Amino acid sequence: MATLLKVNLLPESARKLSLSSIEQFHRTPLMWIAVASMIGFAALLLIPLGILQSQLRQLHVTIELLEPKKADVDRIQRTLQTLRAQEGAFRNMRQGGNLWSKRLNLLSNVTPDGIWFTELRLDPAKGLVIEGSAIGQGGSEMVNVGRLREDLKADTDFAAAIKDIQIESIKRIQDKDIEVVQFTLSCMLAEPPATP
């Protein structure tokens, strides 16, 4: 039987007797199992991430579809707030219903010639808003609008329901050959007296 003899011709300082277990670890099947496990774990993490991204895209699409409906709901809510405020103002007017018919009759009586009303409305912030027009007469129409305001303030019944009357706007427009002045009066309503 032949004996195998190994001869190491390297100097003593350069000789390596054997590899450590850590140095040999990369050659073992356990290392490949560990690497495969880490790659599999990373792949498993990507699956929920993809699902979450898909759900996020679907939520964005849903939000975009709901935006117009949300705008409609917001508009309806603003309209409801306005109507509720007007309801309160109408309720206050109803409590003094006979007085308001007198006040509106007074409005008709003190209106100077050449002035007509285009709109009367209740505004939650401004109170009774009176919009009207006057035929341009070289500046006297402005005097007539001011006189209307002063006559309304001077009447005790009308003044009892109104805190203040302001000329909110006056503007001149040309309608063919006739100059027309459009004006807006805002009459802030006074709080109605408390009923026992």
Residue 103 shares a structural domain with residue 183: yes
Residue 177 has pLDDT above 70, yes or no: yes
Indicate whether 123 pLDDT > 60: yes
Average pLDDT over residues 159-169: 84
Q: Give how many domains the chain has, as a whole number.
A: 2
Q: Which of 54, 80, 95 is the last residue of a domain?
A: 95
Between residues 151 and 6, the one the model is more confident about: 151
Can you tell me the distance from the alpha carbon of 81 to that of 92, in angstroms, rounded to the nearest whole number?
A: 17
pLDDT, average across residues 154-169: 84
Q: What's the DSSP call for residue 139? A: T
Do 166 and 109 fall into the same domain?
A: yes
Can you say whether residue 138 is alpha, beta or left, with left for phi > 0 and alpha for psi between -120 and 50 degrees? left
Res. 185: pLDDT tops 80: yes
In a domain, 23, yes or no: no
Beta bridge partners of 177: none
Residue 93 tokens, joined? 């007017």
